[in-house]
Structure 1
Amino acid sequence: VLDSSDETYKLLTEDRRIINPLGIFIDAEGNKYVADPKAKAVFVFNREDTMTAIMLRDLGIYPMDVVVRGDKMYVVDMNKMQIVVVNKSDGSEILRFGKKGSEPGQFKYIGGMAVDEDENIYITDKITASITIFDKDGIFVSKFGKPTTGVHDFVRPKGIDVDREGRMWIVDAATGVAKIYDQEQRLLLYFGLPDDGAAGALYFPIGIRIDYDNIEHFRSYAVDGAEIEAIILIANQFGKNKISVYALGTFPQ
């Protein structure tokens, strides 16, 4: 756990029941949800980093990623390539949708997941190089992207997040680029590019998060006069900088 307020870090836990943690989500109360496909469970920690629950073992799924919205927990099952929605308090199943395949609403290999404030679900597929969108009931809405090196498409999309304006932020591990799309699926901007050690470069990016709550911790790094709306955090698999930090906002000329 990295604490940007006092520039410290610590291990969340050394509990050996956690075998291969792949996804983590922190809710508004500071609770942490850790998805572990080998343990076939989601581990829950409170604000003080004390483990409070081990969930979903009874569902027989392989949790790869996890997002919490309201009283719901959304989990990617990497075995069946499904999205499983459960009650975050007791783990009772609410909904399942998706499966392996090439038809609309199906996946070859899920790379990442995001859930917006209206509970629409966004899924990246790193094999078909596409993004699929579902409504809150798991009904297929749309799909875009194809496997090309063109600027509008993807090679290996992985992490995804959705900001308060509904814009989709997606990182492509193969090209080392982050891209922003609007709800009409139009490319608005891309940034990054692979160059290990260069300022602002990305190196096999795997995850992205938009943070509106910790702007003050990074404000001193911005130029004078910058009006920062959000901090963009991107995790890199390789290279010197494992976490790249960007700012969204308006900047002086």
Structure 2
Amino acid sequence: MFKFAIHMSRSTEMTISIVLRLACALAIVVSITAQRTSVQAQQRGGTAETEKVQPVNSGPNPYRVIRDWAQLTLEKRPWGGSNGVAIDRDGKSVWATDRCSPGIAPGCLGTKANPVHLFDETGKEIRSFGGGMFVWPHGIHVDRDGNVWVTDARVATAEERIKFPGEDKKGSVVVKFSPDGKVLMTLGRPGVKGDPPDALTEPNDVITDPSNGDVYVAESHTNVEDPNLVGRISVFDRNGKFLRVIGKTGTGPGEFRTPHAIEFDSQGRLIVADR
């Protein structure tokens, strides 16, 4: 309540008192509403500021953000840059890759951190593996048998080879793991960029044909201004035998600059995202 050091009639005092009470009540309601909105936004994974963002279209959005859903509790470390996620055969568990250290450019060189992670449907980390094997984990895929495929999208730079001696025999490969982390197959030659069947060039993503198990690898992660830019899809059979190349570098029909992600649709058609 407020007191005023002025002379006024009793009716005027009552009117002012009522107005002030209403103003205070309104302020409390506004404060509670704002706090509730903030809490609801945080529960949805956003902040009060994100609530102000307008949708880009009028379509319904059945999804909500759950920030910090999965944490790397087994190694008790923060996430590195992450580019790969896949759903397990059970339809609930989630596989993901990270680059071992925070940021975009840093990768797994010089660490023994595991970059391949499995989480249950609640976000609890079940297992991790792949430590000491990768430079820059990128794509991840779970095949029809539950095996896990991971691409390593670059090799060590000249500076990194000096900084991390002995780490030059890593990168630019696709590795097939069993669900418990056993290496079943490696496509490409670790640490070497080149052409199949002997080598791969900075593979971005990998997918297997659900009908016959053939393996499709999207290459490469090379800068598009590089005169030696590689853009192609390399195909292997389920045993790792090289079969053919789809497409070539360029900007015309059937040509690629940086095929960054690949997927099969329900009709068996291969979909390529060319960045």
TM-score bracket, shorter-length normalisation: 0.5 to 0.7
The equivalent residue for 1:149 is 194
Query: Percent identity at matched positions?
Result: 19
1:169-219: CA deviation from partner (whole Å, max 9, x where unpaired)? 1011241010111122111121111111x111111111111112xx4xxxx
**1:183 maps to which residue?**
238
Is residue 67 of structure 1 aligned with residue 86 of structure 2?
yes
How many corresponding residue pairs? 173
Indicate yes or no: 2:232 matched with 1:232: no
Shift of 1:149: 2.8
SS at structure 2 position matched to 1:208: strand
CA distance in 2, matches of 1:58, 1:178: 33
Output the TM-score relative to the length of structure 1: 0.62
Aligned match for 1:160, one of 198, 202, 206: 206
Q: Structure 1, unaligned stretches of length 5 or more?
A: 1-14, 18-46, 216-229, 238-253
Aligned to 2:118: 85
Aligned to 2:174: 131
CA distance in 1, matches of 2:206, 2:182: 19
Q: Which of these two proteins has the greater Rg computed from alpha carbons?
A: 2
- Retained in 1: the 8 A contact 2:85–2:139? no
| Residue of structure 2 equivalent to 1:250 | none
Displacement after TM superposition at 1:16 (Å) = 7.2
Which structure has greater strand proportion? Answer: 1
* 1:206/1:73 CA distance change after superposition, 3 Å: same
Cα–Cα, structure 1 residues 49 and 77, in superposed 2: closer, same or farther, change >3 Å?
same
Cα gap change, 1:66/1:16 in structure 2, threshold over 3 Å: closer, same or farther? Answer: farther
Q: Which whole-Å deviations, capped at 9, do the CAs of 1:75-115 have from their partners, x for residues lacking one?
A: 10222451110102x1111111011x3xxxx1111121111
Distance 1:139 1:205, change over 3 A: same
Quick one: structure 1 residues 195 and 122, their matched pair in 2 at CA, closer, same or farther if it must change by over 3 Å?
A: same
Q: Deviations for 1:1-30, whole angstroms, at most 9, x for unmatched residues?
A: xxxxxxxxxxxxxx679xxxxxxxxxxxxx
Q: Which residue is equivalent to 1:121?
A: 148
Unaligned residue ranges in structure 2 (runs of 5+): 1-45, 49-59, 101-112, 156-170, 223-229
| Aligned CA-pair RMSD | 2.5
In the alignment, the residues of structure 2 paired with residue 132 and residue 81 of structure 1 have an alpha-carbon distance, to the nearest angstrom, of: 14
Cα distance, 1:87–1:191 mapped onto 2, change above 3 Å? same
Query: Is residue 133 of structure 2 the alignment partner of residue 96 of structure 1?
Result: no
Task: Give how far 1:64 is off.
Answer: 2.6
Query: CA offset at residue 61 of structure 1?
Result: 2.2
